[in-house]
Amino acid sequence: MKILFVLIVSCCFSFAHAQYTLKIVVTNIGAKANDDIYIGGDFNNWNPADYKYKMKPFAGGRRIIVFNNVDTGLFQFKFTRGGWDKVETTAKGEEIENRIINVQNDTSLEIIIAGWKDDSPDKPKPNTASANVHIIDTAFYMPQLNRYRKIWIYLPASYNQTKNKTYPVLYMQDGQNLFNEQTASFGNEWGIDECLDTLAKQLNKECIVVGIDNGGDKRMTEYNPYDDDKYGKGEGKQYIEFIASTLKAYIDKNYRTQKDAQHTFIAGSSMGALVSLYALIEYPDVFGAAGVFSPAFQVAPQLYTDVANAKWQKNFHIYFYAGENESNTMVRNMQKMFNIIQQKKCCELQDVTFPLGQHNEKYWREEFDDFYRWLMK
């Protein structure tokens, strides 16, 4: 449903059954009190500098924003000063969880912003990547998009101890968030390397993981196969062609891989989940499985139709995950896609919902262990 915004001193949502008012007042700001303050949340795709959600001056030096006609359910957000490098923190500069409001009636909140990420003393983040993680190239050329991108690779511990063993390959989006806290966008990484080091010993099954950095301000277009009025022309088709054709050819040539679709997987979260599922439509003979974590299907509803019309003849394996604390529609949208694919009777499916799950790497990291165990069966 199209969202209509009205900005006087309020932001208005048009939802089915919308009926309540949510008022948020920032009563005190620990630092940089004169700067503009924005709200980024699940209602605006976590845009940290959306002028529609810029807070207004209020009596007594406070700031206010009013959301009218809000439906019941969860409302998740954080305050920023225009970027995730300027997101709110504790007074000591420590990261905080997403703020969550469960709207069940007219709600008014008073909130204190204790500190900002960029206002804290610089504390170098540790390099947490294991010895099995390497950088293939800091500027790998993407001919389909005429851009360059950092590419990571995780090689199992046994890789350099053997000469003939081959491995399945998992391609993952948002590479900077997979292995290393030092490069993670929001300070939290998936911990893929530590997880696979442990599971290799428990399961006696190993996998190469290739991480592709997201394109920063290009992320919303590169991970979207469809044009969007807000973000621009979709580039997901070209992005997936890069992985399926250019990058996979390089990986298969330079590393001991199992090249067939049965042993080639793709995964991601949010927009990265959306484009990973899309990869099965575009390249069903290249990818045999997908990990779909907290998919942002609301951004590209056309994907429902394209998946329903896909002429899949093979037995894909698809793992869906969503947290109930992500948004009002996350689980419902995921289940809608799950049901569409289930009706095709051509895939092995798994769907998981976690009541406490939020939209961040902490929860995807916790779920990755189960996803990998399921995949390796």
- Give pLDDT, residue 113: 95
Cα–Cα–Cα angle for 252, 210, 192, rounded to 5 degrees: 140
Q: Is the model's pLDDT at 154 over the cut of 70?
A: yes
Q: Is the model's pLDDT at 65 over the cut of 60?
A: yes
Question: With bands split at pLDDT 50, 70 and 90, how would you rate the model's confidence at 148?
Answer: very high
- Give pLDDT, residue 122: 62
Q: Is the model's pLDDT at 283 over the cut of 70?
A: yes
Question: With bands split at pLDDT 50, 70 and 90, how would you rate the model's confidence at 290?
Answer: very high
Q: Is the model's pLDDT at 13 over the cut of 80?
A: no
Question: With bands split at pLDDT 50, 70 and 90, how would you rate the model's confidence at 120?
Answer: confident
Do the beta carbons of residue 22 and residue 103 sit within 8 Å?
yes
Domains (range + CATH), the chain: 10-118 (2.60.40.10), 133-376 (3.40.50.1820)
- Going from the C-alpha of 246 to that of each of 142, 239, 328, the distances in angstroms are 8, 10, 38
Count CB neighbours of 366 within 10 A.
17
- Of all residues in the chain, the percent with pLDDT exceeding 90 is 75
Among 44-48, 71-75, 183-187, the minimum mean pLDDT is found in: 183-187
Q: Is the model's pLDDT at 11 over the cut of 80?
A: no
Question: With bands split at pLDDT 50, 70 and 90, how would you rate the model's confidence at 9?
Answer: very low
Higher-confidence residue: 244 or 313? Answer: 244
| Average pLDDT for 2-26 | 58
pLDDT averaged over every residue in the chain: 91
Query: Considering only CA atoms, which of 71, 74, 77 is closest in space to residue 21?
Result: 71
pLDDT in tens, 73-106: 888 899 999 998 899 999 888 888 889 888 889 9
- Give pLDDT, residue 121: 66
Query: Considering only CA atoms, which of 327, 205, 334, 223 is closest in space to residue 271?
Result: 223
3-state secondary structure at position 100: strand
Which residues 6+ apart lie within 8 Å of 45 measured at CB?
220, 296, 299
Q: Enter the DSSP assignment of 135.
A: E
Question: With bands split at pLDDT 50, 70 and 90, how would you rate the model's confidence at 3?
Answer: very low
